[in-house]
Amino acid sequence: MKNKITIISPKREIFDPGRMEFWEFGFMAKAAGIQQRKYSGTPMALPILHSLIPDDFEVTVIDENVEDIDFTIETDLLLLTFFTTAATRGYAIADTFRERNVTVVIGGCHASMAPDEAITHADTVAIGEAEVLLPKILEDFRKGKLEKFYRVNDDERPALDNLPIPHFNCLKLNSYFNPTIQTMRGCPMKCDFCTVRVHWGSKYRYKPIEKVIEEIESLKKSFGRNTFIMISDDDIAANRNRSKELFRALIPLQIQWMSQGSMAMAKDDEYLDLMTQSGGTRMIMGFESVSEESLRLMKKNPANKLSDYIANIRKIQSYGVAIIGAFVFGFDTDGMDSFDNSADFIIDNCIALPQLFALTPFPGTALTKRLEEEGRILSRDWKFYTGSTVQFIPKTMTPEQLQNGYYYTIQKVYSYKNIWKRLNGLWRLWDENARRREPVIIKEKIDTLLLNENFRACAYSYPLNYNADSNEEAHYRKKLNTLLRRFLSRRTEMMNAVVDNNTGVNVAAI
């Protein structure tokens, strides 16, 4: 009889039912008229864990973001994986199963950063990457000799050459807007607020390109269609020669994708050309701050020079790319002027999709160690660690001033008037440079508009701190809705042309 394993990724514990967060895409599901539970992207951990478990185990996979947990399920071993924002819920799930005498193993980013805390809710904690640890954990489980901690040392981190393809079919794929893959791990940068270097190591490790292509082909087969893909690399521009080779291999697949990367790509026209030819349409970029002193204090990637921001933003977006610009508030040198300075910079430079965060002291980072030593951590209640609430004492203002300043800034950036200003400038840049075919541009205009609506819904689910003129808001909302209808009509015309005239237009791009 097979041993039974249940793998669970918990949802975060909701502390305010009316409050939305950027990554959950609640508005998008409503706008699309989708009645079922829908989440932004597929979790990476669940398909990876499933691929590492031998066939002599019976495995059940549950992503609580899209389905409920059956707490009466018969299982011999529970594997839990979660980020910090879901840790409160994760521990509650672990405690419930342990009351039934189920063996519980907790892994993932949060447990790796806070193992001594995690072990109080588990029989075993996995610290580091599952490819190294899970085979040993399962072997010891069979023998009845599980240890409390399993740890990956830096010299034991796995090469990515021979990893199994993640088992995407273990997920309810129709419950996600897009799938997520990873082609590299690690980061040598020393940004003091970031967990990436601590969790994945300080050296870049890459999957062979042929393996990435094999993984994408498997993903397309699982989804049954071409689908927009999130390439969850922390800096896809870190090795531009390797990335160019990857982009060339992606071109025949006719997919569209997004990733994360530094502004170093702005210096390389060939890189940008190949990126757009291969279907790269959106790029997450960590600007973090428009203060030179704050960038120096956080030890930001030297490729992100404030003096180059404006030219680099314009250059990258001129290729038909929508920049998802990340900005963080609350660094020790941030004053009250940082809120309007950042908002005005975002609006003036037509950043397509701004993502704004309050500085958050996640466990395991250099920032958190310093704040703990200075007695400035306010709370370790993980359900509030969403990136939109203040959990520490800032240096130049009160926590309340930082919290309200964050709300003010995100609401200013996502007022309808300022959405119009940003998108109108962005789309004009796209039209003038004509780097992409019309079907792709139209699709991206629709997507950027709807995503701005999604992020606006998040911004205005927070306490109101920005007083926009109601008449102006109604005016610009109407203008945006008119444009959306026009784009949708044009998209329908192009799709009909494909059907009627066999024009050869890539339907996946429409």
Q: Which domains does the chain have, with CATH numbers?
A: 3-154 (3.40.50.280), 236-492 (3.30.750.200)
CA distance 485 to 432: 22
CA distance 95 to 388: 28
Burial of 359 (0-12, 13-18, 19+ CB in 10 A): buried
CA distance 485 to 502: 25
Looking at residue 282, its amino acid is R
* DSSP percent split of the chain into helix, strand, coil, nearest 5: 50, 15, 35
pTM for the model: 0.92
Q: Are 111 and 362 in contact (CB under 8 A)?
A: no
Looking at residue 502, its amino acid is N
CA distance 186 to 204: 5
Q: Report pLDDT digits (tens) over 29-49.
A: 555 555 556 788 899 999 999
CA distance 102 to 96: 9
Residue 123 has pLDDT above 50, yes or no: yes
Q: Report pLDDT digits (tens) over 193-250.
A: 787 777 777 788 999 999 999 999 988 888 876 778 999 998 999 999 999 999 999 9
| % the chain with pLDDT above 70 | 93
Residue 225: the pLDDT is 67
Q: What phi and psi values does residue 11 have, to the nearest 5 degrees?
A: -80, 165
Q: Which of 189-203, 386-400, 402-416, 470-484 has the lowest mean pLDDT?
A: 189-203
Q: What is the mean pLDDT of residues 317-330?
A: 96
CA distance 36 to 66: 8
CA distance 329 to 247: 34
Q: Are 380 and 351 in contact (CB under 8 A)?
A: no
Residue 27: the pLDDT is 57
DSSP for 232-289, written as a single string = --S-TTSSHHHHHHHHHHHGGG---EEEE--GGGGG-HHHHHHHHHTTEEEEEEEEE-
Residue 508 has pLDDT above 50, yes or no: no
DSSP for 161-189, written as a single string = SSPPPP-GGGS-GGGEEE-EE-SEE----
